[in-house]
Structure 1
């Protein structure tokens, strides 16, 4: 398969270059997009196609118009190749707004989808993961959008993680059907009617207990939840480290529980959960953190391989356009 990787717009392009140079998989051919000075640092020649670009998408660029104003930017060239079937999946760590808007405009929406959602896997207290969407693509979603997120999220968990009938919950301020604003109350009723194995509302405090496989929210609530989880995990990690480094005795204690601390840190390491991806567009584009390291890129590529091998986006298009669910 052919995977596009955008070198530009990230904190450290050298990490992507190191990853590309060291990655060894005969199943994957990388199409790498960047400035000539970046591409010259890629010494690997097997399964590599270099695409020299003259522009870069900046954080200050108008996200909604960058695909028209910077047609030779690495991100835009990569998405154009994805749209023209030159590559199978696109990966970028550049501007999230520009990547989402350009993916939407250049790749097109699945019929019946008005607002694609941004989705990502998150850890739980068990060994299982759950899918959360929307993470911030649409801060003012309608009830129809939440229903579509539920359907698309189920398809992802079914075909990528082989869960026959993924459970779905709606993030809300209470578990009762009557809780929430007008959009959420209406969405609850619609999801209950249209989506199999809908379990009702879930409160944020229970989100990491792996009660459900897919959790749905509008982009405002979903983004706040995501950043809260990341912030709490980071703060807890720092607090635990501070406790065990307090004095000689605590340092000795740290040696005894070192494996447990490493396991905790690993569970909440975002780099091992792949990237965020847009649900509702016709072709797969994956967004990784701008600070993504080689480990994060590795898992994003594994995610891209799974999506391609399962023909997930073809399934999504067929299912949503034919209305074949529940």
Structure 2
């Protein structure tokens, strides 16, 4: 198994990317980890960490796609950018998967222009895990790859999300919900009203509409929405979690009594915080691309990069891309 990693993508690249790749290479000796980027910056970081694992490879790429680059122009003009080279390796089957914490729009463009879509998929979808209070999490798509969607595209998202949960997370019959403003079948805008009957008739376990206030309770295994609503929901959840944890810290540090209370509650609070930690999930797959592409959070640390490799390994082992292609082509029941 060969996993290509964009070493230059992300807020803290290449340092944390190299550190995470090293951890992954040392843990999974059966996987070749290929770091793509500026070799003059990558090699010293590896040397500082000790002996280079035999299954770690460096592929030099002279250019970098920056966070503020216009995605389409950057991918077309920067042919030797680390992200583009990684995508080309997937397309040419030199790598079984690629991971990047870089520019999301550029990764989407790399998927479309360099790797290509799965036949039958109109638009790929970004599918991160949303934390839930039960610790199981919920796959949500699309959360920002496309701002708009049609009812038919939401149906495709539901099918791809179901396959991902089954193949990667081992859920035999994933439940699917549609993000909406009410639980009644006829609630919502024109998009959700048109999508509802399509999802009802699809070969998936559709449970109906889901309101955003219930998202953190984990009402379903897969949540379907357009990228505009989904991205707003995601950032609202992230912002709320950040404010809550900050407020709790302030309260617990207020005086001696609250500090003692915090000490007693620390194990439970730590578990609660971990359930909202993006690094536990590692990366979000870009589903619908004819190759395995995973998007790590821009502020990923080494742990998140390592966990992204773990995710990629599971997806490759379970033939995720082939499974989606087959289901979309044949329309068989999941």
TM-score normalized with structure 1 length: 0.97
Report how far residue 191 of structure 1 moved.
Answer: 0.8
Aligned residue among 22, 25, 31 for 1:28: 31
> 1:283-302 to 2 correspondence within 5 Å?
283-302=291-310
Tell me the residue number matched to 1:7: 7
Aligned residue among 173, 178, 187 for 2:186: 178
Gaps of 5+ in 1: none
Does the CA-based 8 Å contact 2:18-2:35 persist in structure 1? no
Aligned residue among 17, 40, 56 for 2:43: 40
> Is 1:16 paired with 2:24?
no
1:91-140 CA deviation, whole Å, 9 max, x = no partner?
Answer: 01111110111111111111221111110112211131211000111111
SS of alignment partner, residue 64 of structure 1: helix
Does the CA-based 8 Å contact 2:22-2:56 persist in structure 1? no
- From the superposition, tell whether residues 216 and 61 of structure 1 become closer, same or farther in structure 2 (CA, over 3 Å): same
Report how far residue 279 of structure 1 moved.
Answer: 1.1
Tell me the residue number matched to 1:208: 216
Tell me the residue number matched to 2:83: 75
Tell me the residue number matched to 1:148: 156
Question: C-alpha distance in 2, partners of 1:245/1:154?
Answer: 43
> Is 1:99 paired with 2:107?
yes
Does the CA-based 8 Å contact 1:147-1:191 persist in structure 2? yes
Report how far residue 173 of structure 1 moved.
Answer: 0.5
Aligned residue among 291, 306, 319 for 1:311: 319
Report how far residue 34 of structure 1 moved.
Answer: 0.8
Question: C-alpha distance in 2, partners of 1:299/1:240?
Answer: 28
1:54-108 CA deviation, whole Å, 9 max, x = no partner?
Answer: 1111123221132220000111011001100001110011111101111111111
> 1:204-243 to 2 correspondence within 5 Å?
204-243=212-251
Report how far residue 325 of structure 1 moved.
Answer: 3.0
Report how far residue 220 of structure 1 moved.
Answer: 0.5
Question: C-alpha distance in 2, partners of 1:296/1:246?
Answer: 32
- Structure 1 residue ranges (4+ consecutive) displaced by more than 3 angstroms after TM superposition: none
Question: C-alpha distance in 1, partners of 2:170/2:19?
Answer: 33
Aligned residue among 97, 102, 109 for 1:89: 97
Report how far residue 16 of structure 1 moved.
Answer: 1.4
Question: C-alpha distance in 1, partners of 2:183/2:23?
Answer: 48
- From the superposition, tell whether residues 185 and 195 of structure 1 become closer, same or farther in structure 2 (CA, over 3 Å): farther
Does the CA-based 8 Å contact 2:17-2:302 persist in structure 1? yes
TM-score normalized with structure 2 length: 0.95
Report how far residue 293 of structure 1 moved.
Answer: 0.5
